[in-house]
Amino acid sequence: MDPIEAAACWERNAEAWTKLSRAGYDVYRDSFNTPAFLDFLPDVEGLAGLDIGCGEGANTRLVARRGAGMTAIDVSETFVRLAEEEKSREPLGIEYTVADACDLPFDDARFDFAVAFMSLMDVPTPERAIAEAFRVLKPGGFLQFSICHPCFDTPHRVNLRDDAGTTYAIEVGRYFERIDGRIMRWLFASAPDEVKQGMNLFEVPRFTRTISEWVNMLIEAGFAIERLSEPRPDDETVKAYPAVQDAQVAAYFLHVRARKPA
The domains located in the chain, with CATH, are 3-259 (3.40.50.150)
Residue 73 has φ and ψ, to the nearest 5°, of: -130, 150
40 closest CA partner among 230, 212, 213: 230
Give the model's pLDDT for residue 192: 96
Query: What's the half-sphere exposure (Cβ side, CA atoms, 13 Å) at 165?
Result: 3
Give the model's pLDDT for residue 33: 98
CB of 75 closer than 8 Å to CB of 120: no
Give the model's pLDDT for residue 231: 98
Q: What is the DSSP string of 156-199?
A: EEEEEE-TTS-EEEEEEE-TT---EEEEEEE--TTS-HHHHTTP
149 closest CA partner among 256, 14, 29: 256
Structure pTM? 0.96
With a cut of 70, list the residues of the chain below it in pLDDT: none
H or E element that contains 68: none
Give the model's pLDDT for residue 65: 98
Rounded distance between C-alpha atoms, residue 62 and residue 39, angstroms:
12
Rounded distance between C-alpha atoms, residue 18 and residue 71, angstroms:
19
Give the model's pLDDT for residue 137: 98
CB of 28 closer than 8 Å to CB of 252: yes
Give the model's pLDDT for residue 188: 96
Give the model's pLDDT for residue 81: 98
CA distances from residue 5 to 41, 73, 159, 207 in whole angstroms, order as listed: 32, 18, 31, 13
